[in-house]
Structure formats: structure tokens, C-alpha cells
């Protein structure tokens, strides 16, 4: 028996994708972002799950992730690399016809050289700098890019022209995002005037797609929302209360749950310290359950005396410190609990729910970071198939 495992809910994913597709409209392509081991869900399990929901376009960060996705995806599904490619990896990328972001002249030249050598086309997305100030071609570099592309049409196919926004989840960045949208449109117009026309104009992540409809264009790159999380609370409130959606209930459902089982149960007398050190002192006779999950499994030590788990449909407190492989829950007031009973660290049990966000409220981390910290080596099961 596994000490702890992850469950991935196919039905929840289907509902999220259906909702998001409805919001985007039929003409907008859905690109599923699966970087960071599919936000902790596991690339290997998540890609077939998304394909089951009709997704056929995936975005990863680097070649390592692209190769993991290539192993499990359908032949007809497309891959796009948004970040790192090492020079020695470019041959694999072009041979596999994986598309990739090109954000500087170095990479453009490398792509050209490699495509020429292989006598294949490099499928590229021109990333334009519009104000995030991270990666992307500056406006003054574009004449050089245009010239190179025009002179080498047989070695390139222009899959995309794209950019990325600097925080579309927060109204504090409103003016910055507006300026980026304007800049992107202007630069894209200039490219088109030169005959440089891409198959997809894509700029939006989850927050941009949900908060700024005009950023959707031909394709959106959706990460966090497909997994069932709003990018932040502000975006959730804006979307649930706005006229566009008219939803009164949260339409997004969390795909991931994290579970374990009770390993041991015992009584501790009043006035005793529980577990290492003096961080928890019993004020009365206390029944404790030991759960075989600790910081080795990725459960944060900072949740010592703070975290909660679900047992028998009730939310119970973790007492004492999180150990390397174990944590202890307070079972006072719960009679019918037995060794081997299910423990939910993240997810639902009966009517109770522990969200990854409720986790993050306690440890001050955002969903993105918490999800990607869920260790890749935990066993993952797909539940509710079709």
C-alpha cells in the first residue's frame, strides 16, 4: 500500500475545459500549458486526460518536458516549447516538428542553421517584447528578423506571433497590460505589412483570457485555470460577478487531490508534549492519528501546528511539527475512526474540502508554487474516467 498518493479527476478536468472553451468561443484555439510537470499534476498522466477532453495543443517550458510529453501524447497532438532549448537539442526539436518560441537573434540563427542542415522547416513563434521585459524581440530588432525570415522562407514556418503579459490577474497592472496589448497589435501590424503572417496570434494566459477578452486572438495558452484554479482571488471575483459570465457558482473544479491513510492511533494523557520538542502540549487526554506523510513527501514543515486534513468527513488539525515522513492529527471528539481510514490532505471528503489555496493562505504561497511543489515521484491515479 502506498503511504500517500495523488488522484486526478477526469470529470473535473472535462468540466473546466468545457467551461473555458465556452468562455473563449469556438474560433479560439485552446493550448494547454503543462510546464512544471503539468503544474504538479504529472505530464505523463495529464496529457492523455486532456486529449480525452479534445485538447490537441500543449505548451511546455523546455526540451526535457517536451520529451516527457512526446512519450505519452497522440501523434496528432502538437507541442510548443516556450522556454529553454540548448543548442545540442535543436536537432531533436526540429526533427520532431515541435514548435518553439524565438525571442532573440541567437536562437533565430541556430534555428536556421539546424533547419538547413536537416532540410526541414523550423516551426517558430516570434515572441515580441511588449513590456514584460523578460524575453522577446525589441522593436528595433524586427527589421533584421524580417529580412532573415524573408530570405529563408523554405526553412521556417511561422506558427505564431506571441507575447506574455506582466500580471493580467491584478487590476494594479491595468495600464501596463493595456499598453502591452496596444504595442502587440502595432508590432503585429508592422510584421503583416512586411508579409510576415503567423498561423496563430497568441498572447493570453488564464488571467488575460478571462479578464481581457481582446487578448484571446487566435489561441490562448491556458495553465492554472484548466486545473481548476483561478489565477488569484481578484480574477475569481471579477469573473464570477461580471456580466460576461453570469455564473453564481464557481464553475472551476480542482482536478488534483492528495490522499493518505491513518497509520496508527493512540491516546496521549493531558499535559504531555506531542512529537519532537515542545511545540504542542496536550491540555487534556488526546487521541492522535499518525499519518505517513511528511516534508519528504512535499508537505511543508511550515504547516506544523497549522495545517488541517480531512478524516471521516471532518476537518482536523495537525498538531506538533511535521516530521520527515509523518504528521499527527488530533482525533478528539471523533469516535469511529480506525487505522487505514482515508486522510485527505488536499481535496474533498463528504461535504468538506481542503483547497490548495486554503493551504496557501496559511503558508503564504500562491497556488502555482504549491501545485508545482507536489513531488513528481508520488503515485498518480486517474479517477472518474469517462
Residues binding ligand PLP (CB under 6 A): 33, 35, 82, 164, 205-207, 221-225, 231
Min separation Cβ 272 and ligand PLP, Å: 46
* Closer residue to ligand PLP, CB minimum distance, 91 or 234: 234
Min separation Cβ 199 and ligand PLP, Å: 17
Min separation Cβ 213 and ligand PLP, Å: 15
Q: How far apart are CA 262 and CA 272, in angstroms?
A: 22
* Closer residue to ligand PLP, CB minimum distance, 35 or 121: 35
* Closer residue to ligand PLP, CB minimum distance, 147 or 244: 244
Which cell numbers hold the place of 82?
516556450
Which cell numbers hold the place of 215?
487578448
Q: Point out which residues pair with 258 in neighbouring strands.
A: 6, 346
Q: E strand or H helix at 140, and its extent?
A: none
Min separation Cβ 279 and ligand PLP, Å: 36
Min separation Cβ 237 and ligand PLP, Å: 17
Q: How far apart are CA 330 and CA 308, in angstroms?
A: 10
* Closer residue to ligand PLP, CB minimum distance, 40 or 231: 231
Min separation Cβ 33 and ligand PLP, Å: 4
Min separation Cβ 88 and ligand PLP, Å: 23
From residue 115, give the alpha-carbon distance in Å to each of 107, 121, 200, 282: 12, 6, 21, 68
Q: In sequence order, which residues have a C-beta less than 8 Å from that of residue 134 and are 6 or more positions away? A: 164
Which cell numbers hold the place of 294?
511528511
* Closer residue to ligand PLP, CB minimum distance, 42 or 231: 231
Min separation Cβ 41 and ligand PLP, Å: 12
Which cell numbers hold the place of 84?
529553454
* Closer residue to ligand PLP, CB minimum distance, 215 or 260: 215
Q: How far apart are CA 11 and CA 16, in angstroms?
A: 9
Q: Is-contact 56 64, C-beta < 8 A?
A: no
Looking up cell 471521516, which residue turns up?
312
Provide the CA 88 distance to its chain's centre, in angstroms. 28
* Closer residue to ligand PLP, CB minimum distance, 207 or 274: 207
Q: How far apart are CA 257 and CA 228, in angstroms?
A: 12
* Closer residue to ligand PLP, CB minimum distance, 155 or 200: 200
Min separation Cβ 205 and ligand PLP, Å: 3
SS (H, E, C) 109-168: HHHHHHHHHHCCCEEEEEEECCCCCCCCECHHHHHHHHHHHHHCHHHEEEEEEECCCCCC
Min separation Cβ 4 and ligand PLP, Å: 25
Q: In sequence order, which residues have a C-beta less than 8 Å from that of residue 80 and are 6 or more positions away? A: 31, 57, 58, 59, 60, 98, 99, 100, 101, 125, 159, 160
Q: In sequence order, which residues have a C-beta less than 8 Å from that of residue 301 and are 6 or more positions away? A: 295, 321, 322
CA atoms within 13 A on the CB side of 342: 15
Residue closest to ligand PLP (Cβ): 223
* Closer residue to ligand PLP, CB minimum distance, 80 or 327: 80
* Closer residue to ligand PLP, CB minimum distance, 108 or 225: 225
Amino acid at each position: 500500500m502506498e503511504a500517500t498518493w495523488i488522484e486526478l479527476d477526469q470529470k473535473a478536468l472535462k468540466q473546466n475545459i468545457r467551461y473555458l472553451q465556452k468562455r473563449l468561443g469556438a474560433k479560439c484555439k485552446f493550448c494547454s500549458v503543462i510546464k512544471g510537470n503539468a503544474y504538479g499534476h504529472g505530464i505523463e498522466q495529464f496529457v492523455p486526460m486532456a486529449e480525452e477532453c479534445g485538447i490537441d495543443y500543449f505548451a511546455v517550458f523546455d526540451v526535457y518536458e517536451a520529451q516527457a510529453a512526446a512519450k505519452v501524447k497522440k501523434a496528432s497532438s502538437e507541442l510548443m516549447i516556450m522556454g529553454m532549448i540548448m543548442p545540442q537539442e535543436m536537432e531533436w526539436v526540429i526533427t520532431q516538428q515541435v514548435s518553439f518560441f524565438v525571442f532573440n537573434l541567437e536562437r533565430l540563427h541556430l534555428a536556421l542553421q539546424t533547419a538547413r542542415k536537416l532540410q526541414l522547416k523550423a516551426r517558430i513563434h516570434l515572441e515580441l517584447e511588449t513590456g514584460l521585459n523578460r524575453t522577446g524581440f525589441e522593436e528595433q530588432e524586427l527589421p533584421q528578423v524580417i529580412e532573415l525570415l524573408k530570405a529563408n522562407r523554405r526553412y521556417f514556418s511561422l506558427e505564431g506571433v506571441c507575447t506574455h503579459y506582466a500580471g493580467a490577474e491584478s487590476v494594479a497592472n491595468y495600464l501596463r497590460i493595456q499598453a502591452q496589448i496596444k504595442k502587440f497589435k502595432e508590432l503585429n501590424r508592422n510584421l503583416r505589412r512586411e508579409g510576415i503572417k503567423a498561423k496563430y496570434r497568441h498572447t493570453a494566459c488564464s488571467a488575460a483570457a478571462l479578464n481581457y477578452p481582446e487578448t484571446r486572438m487566435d489561441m490562448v495558452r491556458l495553465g492554472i485555470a484548466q486545473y481548476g484554479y483561478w489565477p488569484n482571488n481578484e480574477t475569481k471575483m471579477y469573473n464570477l460577478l461580471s456580466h460576461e459570465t453570469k455564473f453564481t457558482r464557481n464553475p472551476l473544479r480542482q482536478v488534483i487531490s492528495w490522499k493518505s491513510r491513518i497509520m496508527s492511533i493512540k491516546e496521549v494523557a493531558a499535559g504531555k508534549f506531542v512529537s519532537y520538542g515542545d511545540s504542542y502540549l496536550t491540555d487534556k487526554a488526546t487521541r492522535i492519528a499518525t499519518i505517513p506523510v511528511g516534508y519528504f513527501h512535499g508537505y511543508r514543515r511550515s504547516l506544523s501546528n497549522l495545517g488541517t486534513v480531512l478524516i471521516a468527513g471532518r476537518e482536523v488539525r495537525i498538531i506538533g511539527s511535521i516530521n520527515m515522513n509523518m504528521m499527527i492529527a488530533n482525533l478528539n471528539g471523533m469516535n469511529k475512526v480506525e487505522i487505514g481510514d482515508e486522510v485527505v490532505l488536499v481535496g474533498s471528503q463528504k461535504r468538506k474540502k481542503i483547497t490548495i489555496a486554503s493551504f496557501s493562505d496559511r503558508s503564504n504561497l500562491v497556488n502555482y508554487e504549491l501545485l508545482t511543489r507536489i513531488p513528481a515521484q508520488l503515485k498518480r491515479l486517474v479517477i472518474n474516467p469517462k
